Amino acid sequence: MTKRVAFITGSASGLGRQMAIALAKEGIHVVLNYVHSQEKAQQTAQLIEEKYGVQVLVLQGDVSQKAAVTEMIAKIRDAFGRLDILVHNAGPFIKEQKKVQDYRLDEWQAMVDGNLNSYFYLLQETLPLMAQNKWGRVVAVGFNQVNTTPAWQYRGAYAAAKSGVASLTKTIALEEAAAGITANVVCPGDIKGSYKEMTIEEAIKNTTPKQTQRVEVGDDVARVVAFLCQENSTFISGSVIEVGGGQDILAKRNRESSN
């Protein structure tokens, strides 16, 4: 069987890097995407090629720009002649706490363009390629409880855009089912810093007897993404999957914001 091809946005480092590695382990060719982190992207590509023996294409491009998305998908088509899997991991986040009324227009637009509009651009370019082969997997990254359109204090623009992503994903799951395409959202927990590129085995080794639960790492999320992209994961679609150890992470963040 011809090997599948996956495009993972924002995959030079962090969670996206772990997702690319997880898919490469499954024998899937991967397309890495970055905006500024060229060196990290090349390092990730080299690791994947040497360790897993799949083909890797590295593309620079800002997915919030429609023209950049069109150009990247054209390059994927030229290189592989197909695209089977889209994992939309990229998405800007404003670290500064802000009330909705305090957002500048350009900040609001950046959150919507980077998180929601980018997803729309990607879907319009990739779904027809998947439909040609009557097979496709779409996975978007959300946040804790995005399925309930929750309030996220001082993160209103990001939360609104990602909630739109969840709704759009469910719509795609219905519209594209006949084309053999599934669409799901994966919601990471509170994964910080170097933990984003850590494996589960490393996390277990770093867990002390006093801890009631080990820390969540990027590998936890990447394994779920890889599972959703498997050949037999046909009937899992329109789902929003929490990968947060059963914790109410959003409530914790809202409490921290209020202090």
Residue type, 100: V
- Closest Cα partner for 221 from 6, 14, 10, 9? 14
Q: Which pLDDT score, from 0 to 100, does residue 259 have?
A: 64
**Secondary structure (DSSP) of 135-162:** -EEEEEE--TTGGG----TTBHHHHHHH
- Least Cα distance to 180 among 226, 139, 224, 234 occurs for 234
At residue 164 the predicted structure's pLDDT band, cuts being 50, 70 and 90, is very high
**For position 34, which CATH number holds?**
3.40.50.720
Q: Which residue's structure tokens are 């790492």?
A: 217
Domain limits at 248? 5-258
**Both structure tokens of 58:** 């590295």
Q: What angle do CA 252, 255, 259 make, to 5 degrees?
A: 140
Q: What's the rounded Cα separation, in Å, for the pair 119 and 102?
A: 26
Residues 98-106 have a mean pLDDT of: 95
- Residue 70 sits at φ, ψ, to 5 deg, of -60, -45
User: Per residue in 173-207, pLDDT tens?
Assistant: 999 999 999 999 999 988 888 888 888 788 877 77
Res 258: pLDDT: 65
Domain count within the chain: 1
Q: What is the pLDDT of residues 31-79, one digit of tens each?
A: 999 999 999 999 999 999 999 999 999 999 999 999 999 999 999 999 9
- Of 221, 213, 214, the C-alpha closest to 197 is 221
Instruction: Residue 249: count other Cβ atoms within 10 Å of its Cβ.
Output: 19
Question: CA nearest 251: which of 189, 179, 183, 193?
Answer: 189
